[in-house]
Structure 1
Amino acid sequence: MVKKVDHIGIAVSNLDDALEFYEKVLGMSLQGIEIVEEQKVKVAFLPIGDTEIELLESTDKEGPIAKFIEKKGEGIQHIAYRVDDIEKALEEMRQKGIRLIDEKPRYGAGGAKIAFLHPKSTKGVLVELCQRD
């Protein structure tokens, strides 16, 4: 079902500061920045190999990334796995007893269809399923 790691989402307090590290220290290239209003997040895309790093800065102090940083600090927030058919993947997860955060796919950064699985069902890791057409 899972095809590859699509991206790794990293929560950051300040996108510009984080980009300084990823671009100047690690030598990665910024592909673009997008604001996803419904998730209250500003996302920077940094491709590496056949995956990418997504830096996530909250656009709202009540947003999920702001709450994540408040609780756990900056760092890896989720790992996204690419699937061909997200609706089918969600149904398979339901049948396997996995707790879903998203019962139906929603819009994600980069035009992807996404859905999150609850960390209590995934050994403490926030897992995102991601379909790109």
Structure 2
Amino acid sequence: MFEQVHHVAYTVDDLDSYQTFFGDVLEMEKVDYREMPDDGYKAAVYDVGGVYIEVQEPMGEDTDIKAEMDEFLEEQGNGLNHVAYEVDDIEAAVERCESEKGIQREWDEPIVAPTFPDCKLIDMDPDTSRGIYLQLVEEMD
């Protein structure tokens, strides 16, 4: 069902210090940095063997995304937020998850990813995936 891991996302409370950690200490290559106050967060992106590592911090407008990140930090602290799996056809993958696997979508429709604008993504409902936060991603041509 999944082609590969597209990205792994960490949510942190101080992106600047974590950029030093991921870049200098872990020696990961930063390939992007975006501030998206209208979406409610900022992110640095690293490439490790073709898999993106997204390090995100809530900021800016009070959005659903910012609220989710704030809640994550309050409950979990800094750490792994989710793994995003790449699929060839996001609509078909969502349909298969729902009809064959019992895993329901969190949102009505996929969105264009703020951090990865050449992708569309959708979150699956963790209440239907044994508490695991699954995100599906389709690269757009």
Q: TM-score, normalised by structure 1?
A: 0.91
CA distance in 1, matches of 2:47, 2:53: 6
Which consecutive residues of structure 1, in runs of 5 or more, have no partner in the other structure?
none
1:45-72 CA distance string (max 9 Å, x none): 1000020100011014851211210111
CA RMSD of aligned residues (A): 1.6
- Is 1:116 equivalent to 2:123 in the alignment? yes
- Is 1:128 equivalent to 2:135 in the alignment? yes
CA distance in 1, matches of 2:71, 2:107: 18
Aligned-residue sequence identity (percent) comes to 28
Amino acid at match of 1:110: F
Amino acid at match of 2:136: L
Amino acid at match of 2:91: E
Correspondence for 1:11: 11
Runs of 4+ with >4 A deviation: none
After TM superposition, the structure 1 stretch with the greater mean CA deviation from structure 2, 56-65 or 19-28, is 56-65
**Do 1:61 and 1:67's aligned partners in 2 also have CA atoms closer than 8 Å?**
no
**Do 1:99 and 1:117's aligned partners in 2 also have CA atoms closer than 8 Å?**
yes
Correspondence for 1:102: 107
Amino acid at match of 2:126: P
Match of 1:87 among 76, 83, 91: 91
Amino acid at match of 2:25: V
**Do 2:39 and 2:61's aligned partners in 1 also have CA atoms closer than 8 Å?**
no
Correspondence for 2:22: 22
Q: What is the Cα deviation at residue 44 of structure 1? A: 0.9
How many equivalent residue pairs? 133
TM-aligned CA distance change 1:99 to 1:39, over 3 Å:
farther
After TM superposition, the structure 1 stretch with the greater mean CA deviation from structure 2, 3-12 or 88-97, is 88-97
Q: What is the Cα deviation at residue 20 of structure 1? A: 0.8
